Amino acid sequence: MSNKYFKGLFMVSAALSLMVAIACGSSEEVIKEVEVVKEVEVVKEVEVVKEVEVIKEVPVEVVKEVPQDPGKLVVYSGRSESLVGPIIQQFAEATGVDVQVKYGKTGAIAATLLEEGANSPADVFFAQDPGGLGAVANNGQLSALNSKILDKVPAWAKSDKGLWVGLSGRARVVVYSTKNGISPSDLPSSILGFTDPKWNGRIGWPPTNGSFQALVTAMIVELGEAKTKEWLEGIQANNPTVYPKNTPTVAAAAAGEIDVGFVNHYYLHRFIAEEGEGFGARNHHLTSGGPGSLMMVAGAGILSTAKNQDNAEKFLNFMLSKVGQQYFTGSTYEYPVIEGVKANPLLTPIDDINKPKIDMASLEDLAGTQKLLREVGLLN
């Protein structure tokens, strides 16, 4: 197939030796040798053959990533569905976690957890107040929280043992009936002043409510059990109207059924948002700095028997995120417990409230409070 390319050089030498003898006289001729060089170039065509490499396609195996099941979470909530249902739903939608919620009063939920013990299906206890959390924690049913969770809130808003954390702040107030012409100047500076007989038939309260029981616990801590019992009996002597919880107590004040009620601050703002500025009640922060102006938290802890620990931590982190805290400030009118989130401008600034210096962890003795309430006939 291949030809050699070559270039030949032929040399043709002609040597002509010519000897001529000329015999005329005795002269001698010189013989010259002449060399003739002739260059011949021979070119031969070259045939170039290109080899083409054929690349075959090799099938590639595509591995599809199967989404991981986000799992589930069981929450026992002592906070009502109307207050926290929307933010729990937001958590479920954001994470894909299947959240199952059992709602009830904080005291009743705590009692259920104590009864269920190690067999409880609950992963998280979301309580209205520290009392319920303390009852479960003191029974050894809450696990120590991750420091990254605890570090998000100030010292006053969490368990001193790291077993639960506050998720929102709320203030105890006296709601008064503007419909009945009541004004702040008509109110005593301390909650103790409502034992005055002039308040006979004019007071409303919810003794079975968790936040009310936290108020009573704070009174025991600050004033002692004897004086707290005296106060409870003094209010009873004034024939208060009993309500099952805060919401109907506030509604009763606006309707003129009562002149004053002992409640948490945020219920009023929800009514005003729904019914307008003409709503017939307003809040008053008592000025004495006693238990009646208590600032407390709603909080949560993770059960030591939680089967969904990771999702439980995700839940607490979500509630303490800016999204969660902005929900509490914007939708339920509570105080944020993390830095970087401003309180609702409708609320009295927390620094302007003359609140008692009571550690939230000291409000954990729910059992002792309920025992006292049974003694005076306010609980069965």
The three state secondary structure string of the chain is CCCCCCCCCCCCCCCCCCCCCCCCCCCCCCCCCCCCCCCCCCCCCCCCCCCCCCCCCCCCCCCCCCCCCCCEEEEEECCCHHHHHHHHHHHHHHHCCEEEEEECCHHHHHHHHHHHHHHCCCCEEEECCHHHHHHHHCCCCECCCCHHHHCCCCHHHECCCCCCEEEEEEEEEEEEECCCCCCHHHCCCCHHHHHCHHHCCCEEECCCCHHHHHHHHHHHHHHCHHHHHHHHHHHHHCCCEECCCHHHHHHHHHHCCCCEEEEECHHHHHHHHHHCCCCCEEEECCCCCCHHHCEEEEEEEEECCCCCHHHHHHHHHHHCCHHHHHHHHHCCCCECCCCCCCCCCCCCCHHHCCCCCCCHHHHCCHHHHHHHHHHCCCCC
At residue 360, the pLDDT reads 86
Q: How confident is the model at residue 359 (pLDDT cuts 50, 70, 90)?
A: confident
Locate 109 and state its tokens: 């939920």
Weakest-pLDDT range from 32-46, 83-97, 218-232 = 32-46
Q: How confident is the model at residue 56 (pLDDT cuts 50, 70, 90)?
A: low
Report the pLDDT averaged over residues 331-342.
Answer: 95
CA distances to 43, 170, 289, 338 from 333, rounded to whole Å, are: 101, 9, 22, 15
At residue 67, the pLDDT reads 65
At residue 66, the pLDDT reads 57
Q: Which amino acid belongs to residue 205?
A: W
- Residue 33, pLDDT > 70, answer no
For the chain, what is the mean pLDDT? 86
Nearest residue to 311 (alpha-carbon basis) of 66, 65, 68, 64:
68
Sequence-ordered list of residues with C-beta below 8 angstroms from that of 240, at least 6 positions apart, any chain: 203, 204, 205
- Residue 48, pLDDT > 70, answer no
Q: Determine contact, residues 376/233, Cβ cutoff 8 Å.
A: yes
- Report the sign of the C-alpha dihedral through residues 352, 213, 377, 281, in that order: positive
At residue 222, the pLDDT reads 95
Nearest residue to 262 (alpha-carbon basis) of 234, 237, 241:
241
At residue 46, the pLDDT reads 46
Weakest-pLDDT range from 132-146, 263-277, 355-369 = 355-369
Report the pLDDT averaged over residues 254-269.
Answer: 97
Q: How confident is the model at residue 147 (pLDDT cuts 50, 70, 90)?
A: very high
At residue 65, the pLDDT reads 60
Nearest residue to 335 (alpha-carbon basis) of 301, 296, 373:
296
Q: Determine contact, residues 126/302, Cβ cutoff 8 Å.
A: no
- Residue 45, pLDDT > 80, answer no
The bridge status of strand 165-177 relative to strand 260-264 is: antiparallel
- Residue 126, pLDDT > 90, answer yes
Nearest residue to 338 (alpha-carbon basis) of 183, 166, 198, 173:
166
- Residue 17, pLDDT > 80, answer no
Cα 156 from chain centroid (whole Å): 19
- Residue 50, pLDDT > 60, answer no
Write the pLDDT tens digit of every residue in 319-335.
Answer: 999 999 999 999 999 99
- Residue 7, pLDDT > 50, answer no
- Residue 244, pLDDT > 60, answer yes
What are residue 303's DSSP bridge partners? 142
Tokens 């012409």 belong to which residue? 181
pTM for this entry: 0.78
C-beta neighbour count of 97 within 10 angstroms? 21
At residue 62, the pLDDT reads 55
Cα 57 from chain centroid (whole Å): 50
**In angstroms, rounded to a whole number, what is the distance separating the alpha carbons of residues 348 and 375?**
36
What is the CA angle 213-214-216, rounded to 5?
A: 65
